[in-house]
Amino acid sequence: MTHADDPLADPEATAARIPGLLHVPATARNREPIRQVLAEFLPSEPCSVLEVASGSGEQGLWIARGLPQVTWTPSEATPEGVAAVAAWRALLPALHARFLAPVLLDAAAPPWPGPSVDAVFVSNLTHISPWPTTLGLMKGAAARVKPGGLLLIYGPFNEGGRFTGPGNVAFDADLKRRHPEWGLRDREAVEAAAAAEGFEATGRRMMPADNRVLAFRRRCGGVTAART
């Protein structure tokens, strides 16, 4: 596939020529840094990833395409959201064997039906949803991630109860204007919620624009798997 006929090469241009295709500009900036962090944490042998809250789906497609060992299942909370992901997926038929059809999944309503996976990945959900959605994410992931598997969460987080930069102060205020139960979460509160469901913090990475990836590993019968 050349640059000219690759739908992911310039997603804005792709969306401009396909009426109704959902495009989130931030994904074009975030997708490669996130892919690199996932490459670091995920196993190098064949593995499965369930993506919660895939949004448009274009970010997941980019990440999955660049991680050839991964079979990726995207998901969204509503039928309209699932259709939006399916529209992007339809543009990349060569990936269909590894980027599966999107499924309907409400993070706030675990357990989520489906097979066990090696990892659950989610980006930009914890602050753009009420706190019970994050609690649901932990419970749902605990029931789907294999013992020793991963939960990888991307987004902005506070540290020690403080904003990590001025951009996040303004972002949090804007989120709360949009919905009183939205807003940046404390990393420590997210870690405590994960721990309550059997996930141990196994690493975190600083990302552009004051974002983070928080990585958790599901304990195996009380003992965290050796791989870090």
Rounded least distance, CB 7 to ligand SAM, Å: 16
Shortest distance in whole angstroms from residue 108 CB to ligand SAM: 4
Cα gap 172→163, rounded to integer Å? 9
Q: Which is nearer to ligand SAM, 36 or 220 (CB)?
A: 36
Enter the tokens of residue 125.
């959900």
Name the residue among 84, 62, 60 with its Cα closest to residue 74: 60
Which residue lies nearest ligand SAM, judged by its C-beta? 55
CB of 47 or CB of 105, closer to ligand SAM? 105
Angle 74-63-224 (CA atoms, 0-180°, nearest 5)? 80
- Cα separation, 113 vs 185, whole angstroms: 27
Q: How far is the CB of 140 from ligand SAM (least distance, A)?
A: 9
Helix, strand or coil for residue 94?
helix
Query: Would you tell me which residues interact with ligand SAM (CB under 6 A)?
Result: 24, 27, 52-55, 59, 76-77, 81, 105-108, 123-125, 128-129, 133
Give the position of tokens 């403080």: 162
Minimum CB distance to ligand SAM, residue 105 (Å)? 6
Q: Rounded to whole angstroms, how far apart are CA atoms 94 and 98? A: 9
Whole-number Å distance between alpha carbons of 63 and 181: 30
The residue with tokens 């990585």 is 215
Tokens of 181: 């139960």
> Which CB atom, from 124 or from 158, has the smaller least distance to ligand SAM?
124
Q: Which is nearer to ligand SAM, 131 or 163 (CB)?
A: 131
Closest distance of CB 78 from ligand SAM, Å: 7
Nearer to ligand SAM, 37 or 224 (CB): 37
